[in-house]
Amino acid sequence: MLKSKRALVTGSTSGIGLAIARAFAAEGAEVILNGLGDAGDIAALCDELGATYNGANLMKPDEIAAMMVAVGPVDILVNNAGMQHVAPVEDFPPEKWDAIIALNLSATFHTTRLAVPGMKAKGWGRIINTASAHSLTASPFKSAYVAAKHGMAGFTKTIALELATHGITANCISPGYVWTPLVENQIPDTMAARGMTREQVMNDVLLAKQPTKSFVLPEDVAAMALFLCGDAARNITGANYSIDGGWTAE
């Protein structure tokens, strides 16, 4: 399905991004990986997927610009890299706020602005942004993340309108809780912020949000990303697809 397509997936050394990269590679796309991690592990992933890798730190606009030059024109851009920090707003470290806005929101602007000219030249493009249920609703103690993800949803709608006549679509996928390192790593801080045990955080905070009472799988998100790349999705743009077990229906 994606033969002759070049796809840059940010934050694809782990979790959801890696599942999307695997799904695209399986359909014949030339995949460019990005993200942090052990050099040996990343080399093994490149071998597995026939992919190349660019290790730009997406908190730094100059590194993003260098990456987009090195990578060249892409047909598919998936803005997926992200991080979380959990703390009451009065204790929220300003440097964590800045980092989350830079990675979860501003990086999406920088990659997009540099990818769009190549897509316009081809008259075809797919921009897929991994937002979150937190692009549609809020939870306490996640002020930076919720602000960034709401911003990503608004940015996506704006570029969808700008690019609508160029054969380029832009959409968000908004997962609920997906079992990845990002979720696992926020459990200790949530335990501290709410005075809860690990089991209480899992059942009373995380899965309490999802009526299906089960975690979303990275592969579920990848399947939606693949669908959005297909011809059947050519008129889907500016949408924000929830994959959240019913969370935001409540």
CB of 61 to ligand NAD, least distance (A): 12
Asked if 57 touches ligand NAD (CB under 6 A), the answer is yes
Binding segment for ligand NAD among 8-16, 24-32, 222-230, 233-241 (CB under 6 A)?
Answer: 8-16
8 token code pair? 């840059």
Strand partners, 9: 33, 78
Q: Which of 2, 7, 9, 11 binds ligand NAD (CB under 6 A)?
A: 11
Phi, psi dihedrals of residue 83, rounded to the nearest 5°: -145, 170
Q: Residues 95-134: x/- map of binding to ligand NAD (CB under 6 A)?
A: --------xx-------------------------x-x--
Asked if 175 touches ligand NAD (CB under 6 A), the answer is yes
Element (H, E) at 237: none
Instruction: List, by residue number, the catalytic residues.
Output: 145
Interface with ligand NAD (CB under 6 A), residue total 29
Residues contacting 16, CB < 8 A, separation 6+: 80, 130, 175, 178, 180, 218, 221, 222
How many other C-beta atoms lie within 10 A of the C-beta of residue 230? Answer: 13
CB of 58 to ligand NAD, least distance (A): 4
Alpha-carbon distance 5 to 33, whole Å?
14
The footprint of ligand NAD (CB under 6 A) covers 11-17, 34-37, 57-59, 80-83, 103-104, 130, 132, 175, 177-178, 180-183
